[in-house]
Homo-oligomer: A and B are copies of this chain.
Amino acid sequence: MSSNSFGKLLTVTTFGESHGPAIGCVVDGCPPGLALAPEEFRADLERRATGRSRFTSQRHEADEVEILSGVYQGRTTGTPIALVIRNTDQRSKDYGDLLDTFRPGHADYTYWQKYGIRDPRGGGRSSARETTMRVAAAVIAKKWLAERHGVRVRGHLVQIGDLVPRAFDWDAVETNPFFWPDAAMVEELEAYVNALRKSGDSVGARVTVVADGVPAGWGEPIYGKLDGELAAALMSINAVKGVEIGDGFAAVAQRGSAHRDEITPQGFLSNHAGGILGGISTGQALVASIALKPTSSILVPGRSVNLAGEPVEVVTKGRHDPCVGIRATPIAEAMVALVLMDQALRHRAQCGDVGAVEPRVPGRVE
């Protein structure tokens, strides 16, 4: 698997730079017969789009997906599905003054170290623009998971800076621009983010993704564990610095008698494990969380060097995004969905469809 491809049996290969002519992806391995139309990509791309609200960055991306292959008469054929989005916003001039400067906290320094080439156009390949295609590819995965297995993948914010929700309601999440599960706090959040923007600074965020309906038995030991692949998938999202499954780091201070999820004939009594034991799904809700660092491109001046090795002061001009973590929500959902569909296909390859469709129940004769 090449480094711009993701997944073993559902393989997504993305390509494209932030300010090149286009970005795109090839989705290989989707079963035949899934209904798919270009307009189905719109909702999730809109959720991810930076222009969604004034609380995220203002670059307008008219993201229209073109399906170049793999779909015939409205259904997938089993051959690779290529999706392309033209970049309509290729103004390289915005980045003119950063041509020779490494921005602190950005990948431009490490890309230059690796490749010896500097592509200053909006971060080039390292830009979060690339994640657009992950969201697009995952529209296919989400639909297949829902239709074939009744799986639903949803995400929400659980922390921004030091603010955390005081209540939880799934229905609230999609009614505010913060994917925040506590509707009563939205005004407070708006004030918080506006103050942050005025100060020219940024904060981090924490996002949780929950997948309901995942059957027991998905995930492959030892190096293809469901949690291992989720960790890789989620850590590959721009700005992510941490991944947790279930209780995550809170488990460090827990007692075994409290952490282990007891089992009764009626099911598990708790879900500290986040739906995964030994790398394989338990049949409970799958719960994964990520930490996103604060935006590095801010108005507060910072020290850096240029290509000549001279000290420079860097200030990111124009409007900025005081919390990149907000729009990571649909991206995190996308990665979870892609991992799950890949694992579903791997499970039926080795174990057949049985485990997925009709779960084993202790005590039932098979």
Contact = CB atoms under 8 A, between A and B. Distances in A.
A85 to B, nearest CB: 10
B28 A2 contact: yes
B21 A124 contact: no
B253 A113 contact: no
Given A104-B261, A105-B259, 15 more contacts: A2-B11, A15-B26, A15-B82, A31-B350, A113-B359, A161-B252, A203-B256, A204-B253, A231-B234, A232-B232, A251-B294, A257-B302, A307-B362, A309-B361, A309-B362
Contacts of A31: 350-352
A161 B111 contact: no
B246 A241 contact: yes
Contacts of A24: 68-69, 82
A56 interface: no
A23 interface: yes
Contact of A228 (B236, B263, B347): B236
A173 interface: no
Copies in the complex: 4
Contacts of A112: 360
A4 B33 contact: no
B114 A298 contact: no
A293 to B, nearest CB: 4
A319 interface: no
Chain A: interface size category: 35 or more
Contact of A216 (B110, B160, B204, B252): B110
A269 interface: yes
B217 A110 contact: yes
Contacts of A283: 113
Interface stretch (A41-49, A57-65, A178-186, A218-226): A218-226
A250 to B, nearest CB: 8
Nearest to A306: B362
A106 to B, nearest CB: 7
Contacts of A280: 107, 110-111, 113-114
Max chain B C-beta neighbours (<10 A), residue from A4, A28, A121: A4
A17 interface: yes
Contacts of A273: 105, 241, 293
A78 interface: yes
A24 to B, nearest CB: 6
B260 A236 contact: no
